[in-house]
Amino acid sequence: MNLFRNVVFIAAIAGLVAGVVLACMQAYATVPLILKAEVYEQVGGGHHHDHTAPAPTDNNAMNSAAPAGNAMSSAAPAAAEAVPAEEEGWAPADGFERFAFSVLANIVTGIGFALVLVAVSEFAGGIGNWRQGVFWGLAGFAVFTLAPGLGLPPELPAMPAAELLPRQIWWTATVAATAIGLALIAFRKSLPLAILGVVLIVAPHIVGAPQPDSFETPIPEGLHHQFVVAVTVTNLVFWLVLGAVVGVVRGRFTGSATSLRDSFA
């Protein structure tokens, strides 16, 4: 029980810090681009893709994570699809309310990612310091943002998307294959297993992500490119901060011990 409690405590601190950092970056890097896209959407006659395949409007740490039918984009740490007024549900008002909602969503998601990071890293001896945390953060970025984002880049409002279920299946398979592939390369000192790891990482991209029937959109290509870059960079910083904070906090807990279990036995 002590082990579980302290894993949760470490994850809570790391998720809190990384979530706040991400929300602040998004307020300046991605939210303005989303607001611009909403203007193009209105000018373009309200064109948007299926309600089951939303584009972002409010950012959170899952901006590059699994596609979902609510407030997540198809690419990790964005938002609910812009819909006609008569169909639109509740959404936080622009300004402080929207920022506060984004901070809360990012913190909750950050804690979830930190739990995964701490739990998985303990099987490899744990994250002993911030430097190790940075490497683990890079791995998390590669698994949850970079790899799935190559096939399903972040979407702005009014951008077309394939059906939700195939995208979710592809995203999940890509995340799992990338995670297993990196583990085989990093922790198994075997050439055949390393080759298998590379195959697993590449395989989802050979198969290809589900694509929409049409790519017609009122969103300028340059604006979408800026959004993809902004989402990728902000999520990279999010993962680096998350890993580093886990390393610092865990190092304070364990001292010279090799694992959380040893520290609290």
**Model pLDDT for residues 240-250, shown as the tens digit of each residue:** 999 999 999 99
pLDDT band with cut points at 50, 70 and 90 for residue 121: very high
Q: CA–CA separation, 81 vs 106, rounded Å?
A: 18
Query: Looking at the predicted structure, is the pLDDT value of residue 234 above 60?
Result: yes
What is the model's pLDDT at position 6? Answer: 85
Share of the chain above pLDDT 70, in %: 77
**Model pLDDT for residues 16-35, shown as the tens digit of each residue:** 999 999 999 999 999 999 99
What residue segments make up the domains of the chain, in order of their start? 2-263
Q: CA–CA separation, 235 vs 219, rounded Å?
A: 22
Q: Supply 160's token pair.
A: 């077309």
pLDDT band with cut points at 50, 70 and 90 for residue 65: low
Helices (H) and strands (E) in the chain, counts: 9, 0
pLDDT, mean over the chain: 83
Query: Looking at the predicted structure, is the pLDDT value of residue 115 above 80?
Result: yes
pTM value is: 0.83
What is the model's pLDDT at position 212? Answer: 92
Query: Looking at the predicted structure, is the pLDDT value of residue 261 above 60?
Result: no
pLDDT band with cut points at 50, 70 and 90 for residue 251: confident
Q: Supply 255's token pair.
A: 């001292």
Rg (CA), the chain: 19
Question: CB pairs under 8 A, 24+ apart, for 210-217?
Answer: 210/162, 210/163, 210/166, 210/167, 210/170, 211/162, 212/49, 212/160, 212/161, 212/162, 213/160, 214/160, 215/160, 216/47, 216/160, 217/44, 217/47, 217/158, 217/159, 217/160
What is the model's pLDDT at position 59? Answer: 52
Query: Looking at the predicted structure, is the pLDDT value of residue 201 above 90?
Result: yes
Tell me the average pLDDT across 108-121.
96
Neighbours of 252 (CB within 10 A): 10
3-state DSSP call for residue 129? Answer: coil
Tell me the average pLDDT across 198-202.
98
Nearest to 116 by CA among 200, 204, 232, 8: 8
Tell me the average pLDDT across 188-201.
94
What is the model's pLDDT at position 55? Answer: 42
Q: CA–CA separation, 50 vs 244, rounded Å?
A: 39
